[in-house]
Amino acid sequence: MKRIMVMVLRNLYRIPYLWIKLCWYASHVDKYTEEQRYALLKKIDHAANTGGNLNVQGYGVENIPKENGFMFYPNHQGLYDVLAIMECCPVPFSVVAKKEVFQVPFLKQVFTCMKAFMIDREDIKQSMQVIINVTKEVKNGRNYLIFAEGTRNKDKNNPHEFKGGSFKAAMRAKCPIVPVALIDSYKSFDTGSAKPLTVQVHFLEPIPYEEYKDMKSTEIAEEVRSRITDTIKKYENN
């Protein structure tokens, strides 16, 4: 975790203030608007990226729907993925994350500020309730991100199978689905290097409800994975 050490060392003078503020926001989430909480998270995220020699390049930001109430579906390469997307996404969003992530200091506070949903993959009843809750929130205008692979993929820039069940919330909310292609995000924490690194985030054209309403969840999953895979193949050597 050389890069994390570099992030910390280069932001040493900022950390006490930002950590206290992050913990305060996480403990008083309802005192602040989603925009205020997201602004703080982006500030922390940018400081970490700059300190850690990470250059996040965002493409297709114009594809993010102008009207809130949509869902991001990226490929999943590791713990850095959400932070990479946050760096170049101008609008607030929340996430559905596995319960284990909430045990990781810093990420726990970040996801609490995002009012993220924790999902227990071993508890079907709890997982279904999360889908119901996310559906309701998306219908009310919040934006969400779900990793449809279910868990981080250690196969570098090669997306694995996207689970059809991950798209149930989008189907019920009848919202736009925005595929997101992450390139080289895994290198940030998994390579043991702190050398300058460029991570690409590609927001692809949204898939409106009218386009997928007659498709099965597994068909939607494969379509989204296919679009992401094609984008990665096209740009990963840039």
Q: Residue 124's pLDDT band (boundaries 50, 70, 90)?
A: confident
Of 113, 235, 232, 116, nearest to 179 by C-alpha is 232
Alpha carbon dihedral 32, 35, 36, 39, in 10-degree steps, equals 150
CA distance 183 to 232: 6
Task: Render 113-163 in DSSP notation, one character per residue.
Answer: HTTPEEE-TT-HHHHHHHHHHHHHHHHTT--EEE-TTSS---STT---PPP
Of 161, 105, 85, 97, nearest to 134 by C-alpha is 97
List pLDDT tens digits, range 28-59. Answer: 999 999 999 999 999 999 999 999 999 999 99
For the beta carbon of residue 15, count every other beta carbon within 10 angstroms. 17
- In which domain, by residue range, is 224 found? 2-235
Of 41, 45, 38, nearest to 11 by C-alpha is 45
The one-letter code for the residue type at 7 is M
Structure tokens at 139: 């219908």
CATH number of the domain at 103, please.
Answer: 3.40.1130
Q: Are strands 71-74 and 144-146 parallel, antiparallel or unpaired?
A: parallel
Prediction pTM value: 0.94
List pLDDT tens digits, range 152-198. Answer: 778 889 999 999 999 999 999 999 999 999 999 999 987 778 899 99
Who's near 162: CB < 8 A, 6+ residues apart?
73, 148, 149, 221, 222, 224, 225
Q: For the chain, what is the mean pLDDT?
A: 94
Q: Is the distance from CB of 93 to CB of 144 less than 8 angstroms?
A: yes
Domains: count for the chain: 1
Calculate the alpha carbon distances from 169 to 10, 107, 111 in Å. Answer: 40, 24, 19
Place of tokens 């460029």: 198
List pLDDT tens digits, range 192-230. Answer: 788 999 999 999 999 999 999 999 999 999 999 999 999
Percent of the chain past pLDDT 70, that is, above it, reads 100
